[in-house]
Amino acid sequence: MDKRVFLSPPDMGGSEPDYVKEVFESNYIAPIGQFVDRFERAVVSFTGAEHAVALSSGTAAIHLALRVGGVERGDRVLASTFTFIGSVAPILYQNAEPVFIDSDESWNLDPTLLEEAIEREKPKALILTHLYGQSAKMEEIVQICEEKGVLLIEDAAESLGATYGGKQTGTFGRFGIYSFNGNKIITTGGGGMLVGAKAEDIEKARKLSTQAREEAIWYEHTEVGYNYRMSNVLAAIGVGQMEVLPERIEKKRKIFEWYRESLEDIEEISWMPEVEKSRGNRWLTTLTFEKTDPFEVIGALERKNVESRPLWKPMHMQPLFRGARAYGGGVSEKLFARGLCLPSGTSLEKEDVEKISAIVREAICS
């Protein structure tokens, strides 16, 4: 490839610079202003979430969900082990104790292990990741959390627009979070959103995100807060990106289909599934090889100027979490050893996907 192919680069819709210009003209270069409100309303209207607060990152959104949800020092928090660090680092910010749960054949959280872990650990909360844009088994997971009184926080950082039973991921639990980091399906360059079913939760998060200032003319503080609010400039980019989100989802799904068609005769390849009743956004096209070493394929793609990556290294394998308890582990360990993320940027065309597939095929056969 002449030009480097990235894994999932930003893809602007067109109206973003106009909105940013409006921000400049209004001089609201601050974490307040009409675009922050508009961005929150756009996400609420698209996802059907009740309430939303725009933040500086998805990680900040998870931190606030734990904080508002009452997770404190020493509490146990269950989490998907097969995820990205931003999903679980906030457990440590709260001095709580992470306990990891393996995936099942869906690649997402195993509901049977979840039940077992809740029985033994008596956790306060579960952070559930919808990986690579594919919904977890929501019917089972929601039912288990409700029955056992476990606070459900959905990490939908990668799955904006994915649905289960027609309902958007991120809107099943008391809290859901989205990320607008540079590589996500839509981006503000960096940012996140916390959504929730209860107005008072989101109002509390809004207050904590702006240094927990009390109502007074002077700066009055009774509790510790954070500087987590999203800037109006970035929210303007977000408003533009929300306009093209439905197109981006369809394109990601198409890219997945192109890869699958190009490589369908290779029997050792398995693709990330889409669980029954769900429709993913296919943020990244991901697969596993039965025999081929994925790191060989990553090397072959790199030599042709194409970026690809292994699947997430499970959290229970990370030195940071040495000693943490894990339920199961073998499924995600195998996925990590055998898996690959292919370039899935929404500006790719069919012929790009075919060229990339040809490099993969050659690496397998050589």
Ligand X SMILES: *Cc1c(COP(=O)(O)O)cnc(C)c1O
What residues make contact with ligand X under the rule CB under 6 A?
57-59, 83-84, 86-87, 129, 155, 157-158, 179, 181, 192
Nearer to ligand X, 77 or 364 (CB): 77
Nearer to ligand X, 127 or 363 (CB): 127
Nearer to ligand X, 19 or 312 (CB): 312
CB of 143 to ligand X, least distance (A): 23
Nearer to ligand X, 31 or 258 (CB): 31
Q: Where are the beta strands (DSSP E) in 197-281?
A: 269-271, 278-279
Q: In this structure, is the dihedral angle defined by the CA atoms of residues 297, 302, 305 and 307, taken in order, positive or negative?
A: positive
- Which amino acid type is present at position 360? V
CB of 196 to ligand X, least distance (A): 17
Find all residues with CB under 8 Å of 4, minimum gap 6, and list them: 305, 306, 307
Which segments of the chain does DSSP mark as H helices, in order? 16-26, 34-47, 58-68, 89-93, 111-121, 138-148, 199-209, 232-263, 294-303, 330-338, 350-365
Which residue has the closest beta carbon to ligand X?
Answer: 58
Nearer to ligand X, 57 or 286 (CB): 57
CB of 320 to ligand X, least distance (A): 15
Q: In whole angstroms, give the CA distance from residue 213 to residue 308.
A: 44
CB of 158 to ligand X, least distance (A): 5
Nearer to ligand X, 62 or 363 (CB): 62
Tokens of 73: 């020092």
CB of 133 to ligand X, least distance (A): 10
Strands 151-155 and 125-129: parallel
Helix (H, G, I), strand (E, B) or coil at 53: strand
Tokens of 116: 């077992």
